[in-house]
Structure 1
Amino acid sequence: MFDNIFAAIEKWMRELLTGMVESNMSTMFTDVNEKTSEIAAQVGRTPQNWNSSVFSMIQNLSESVVVPIAGIIITLVLCYELISMLTERNNLHDVDTWMFFKYFVKAWVAIYLVSNTFTITMAVFDVGQSVVNSASGIINGETAIDVSSLSMQMQAAMATMEIGELVVLALETFLVSFCMKIMSVVITVIVYGRMIEIYLYTSLAPIPFATMSNREWGHVGTNYFRGLFALAFQAFLMMVCVAIYAALISSVRISSNMHSALIGVAAYTVILCFSLMKTGSLSKQIFGSH
């Protein structure tokens, strides 16, 4: 009789622990699928599509507050340009009418750039979005992990384990699943932080645009333009990180060793977070922005 009782208790504990492990593992890999798809969806949006209300606020602030300051900067730059142009020709002794035509062209270019700042900046992000959308057709098909297949592998592996091993495995899966949730929060902060950086970066766009027509001050606008391209193409680098992560995590085999598989999942998730954090500095390095 006692043998039947112990057998029933062992069966109940095995079913309980097996259910806990399967639930933790399924939730873990479901979070992976959701997070990779969320990254692909978030980085594929332009600033005006990500949050239209925030974009409208930034645009209004830029046009009503920053553009007047850019107008003052344009005035200073053009005055400096005129004085330099006249004094460098033997203090007005060698005046050429072509100089004034070139001066008025520079003035028109400066005013045009400031007047169309948001159109130009959004065109840069449209180019970046086009690249991301082209890449997503290749990447998105491989990011999802087949949870049902992994569930079958887990059941086959746990069928040969003792109660003690199942207890340890249940604790491991709980800890790794908890760490995955923390990593998912970190990833969300990175993705959302990039968009906030874009809004902050574009809010002051008229000021560096006002300097681009001048030879001495033009490096400010040129470096700003490089930074725009770096932010736009950072989304492509983030998509590549997601694709590499999906390829690595899809190679995890539960049936061979569940403990090493759990460590591999946690390690790959940490690598993904680290890689996403490095995309910003890497993109700026590629485009020569500082």
Structure 2
Amino acid sequence: MERRRPAGNWIIDNLNSALGTWNSKLEEIWTLLTQDPADFKGGGIWQVMLDINGALKAIGFGMLVLFFAVGVVKTCSSAADLKRPEHAFKLFIRFALAKAAVTYGLDLMLAIFQIIQGMVSTIITRSGLSGNSDAALPQEIIDKINQVGFWDSIPLWAVTLLGGLFITVLSFVMILTVYSRMFKLYMYTALAPIPMSSFAGEPTSNIGRNFLRSYAGVCLEGAVIALACVIFSVMAASPPAIDPDVSVVTAVWSYVGELIFNLLVLVGAVRMSDRIVKELLGL
């Protein structure tokens, strides 16, 4: 008579541990997508970025004058052009608006962020999900594993070990991508006065426009990631079908393989969020 595995739950525990890591990272993503950068990690990082932004404003005002002078040289073919009231007024308005962009650029960026955060909240609310659609081991798989003897559990252990390791690696790859978006938001916030000052000159104004478009793209990545997580959560709610006639190893391998495929699709969508946004905005 074949001896049953007394500690037969170690295979189940291995899979549950990997799924638990994945679910915890997925819940962390939901939190990060709806969190204000000012509240992230207690707000310490945000305060440092604000201090850097304020310090760089002085450099931004200096570059503002430089870009303005370059714009005057490029747009005025002669000194007579500067004497024309309409041209002088146009240059004055441009300089005033560029100065306002450097001074109040952070407020503009926060307004863009809040608008897109509203989109993210709408996506999550309308989907009816809140990060609670966890991937779980089906009861059919658990029952099959509990019926396996000791020697038959050895190949099963290898399958679950590799599958669990792969799931854990994918979970960290995914969360790193979301953290990188948060870091990019901080970097854009800190460096904003420099590209904003380029609005002072007509030939250099495209630098500021591209900066704002790129910043909006980073913010919009949150909406793309939220959509990807919503799609995965709906998929996770319908676990793969288990064929009762196949062996335990085949059933577990089929389940792990299909689960890893679904996770790869989600990780790929999260990793490609920046590319999708660039295609949408024409960056």
The TM-score, its normalising length taken from structure 2, stands at 0.86
49, 53, 72: which is aligned to 1:62? Answer: 53
- 2:20 pairs with one of 16, 21, 30: 30
Q: Secondary structure at the match of 1:22?
A: helix
1:270 is matched by which residue type in structure 2? L
Q: What residue number does 1:135 align with?
A: 123
Describe the shift of the 1:104–1:266 C-alpha distance in structure 2 as closer, same or farther (beyond 3 A): same
Q: Is the 8 A contact 2:71 2:204 kept in 1?
A: no
Compute the displacement of 1:278 (Å): 1.1
Q: Given residue 144 of structure 1, which amino acid in structure 2 is its aligned partner?
A: S
Cα separation, partners in 2 of 1:93 and 1:60, compared to 1, 3 Å: closer
Shift of 1:100: 2.4
1:182-213 deviations in whole A, cap 9, x for unaligned? 22222222121221122122221111111124
Equivalent pair of 2:27/2:131 in contact (CA under 8 Å): no
1:139-218 equivalences under 5 Å are: 139=127, 140-141=129-130, 144-145=133-134, 147=136, 150-158=137-145, 161=148, 163-218=150-205
Query: Is 1:48 aligned to 2:38, yes or no?
Result: yes
Secondary structure of the equivalent of 1:216?
A: helix
> Which of 217, 223, 238 is the equivalent residue of 1:236?
223
Q: 1:93 to 1:288 in 2, by over 3 A?
A: closer
Larger Rg: 1
Distance 2:97 2:35 in 1: 30
Partners of 2:113 and 2:216 within 8 A in 1: yes
Does 2:58 align with 1:71?
no
- In structure 1, give the amino acid aligned to 2:48: M
| Secondary structure of 2:199's aligned partner | coil
Shift of 1:115: 0.5
Rate the CA distance shift 1:107–1:265 in 2: closer, same or farther, 3 A: same
Structure-1 separation of matches of 2:82 and 2:145: 91
Q: Within 1, Cα distance between the matches of 2:120 and 2:71?
A: 41
- Residue number in structure 2 paired with 1:97: 85
SS at match of 1:39: helix
Of 100, 114, 123, which aligns to 1:126? 114
SS of 1:116's equivalent in the other structure is: helix
Counterparts of 1:84 and 1:251 in 2: how far apart (Å)? 63
Task: Compute the displacement of 1:94 (Å).
Answer: 8.8
- Corresponding position of 1:267: 261
Aligned residues: 274
Contact 1:157 1:255 in 2 (8 A): no
Q: C-alpha offsets along residues 210-253 of structure 1, whole Å, 9 cap, x if unaligned? A: 11243211110111111011000101111112122223344333
Q: 1:284 — aligned with what?
A: 278
1:94–1:38 distance in 2 versus 1, CA, 3 Å = closer
Cα RMSD, aligned residues only:
2.4
- 1:16 matches 2:10: no
The structure 2 residue matched to 1:220, chosen from 207, 211, 223, is: 207
Give the match for residue 246 of structure 2: none
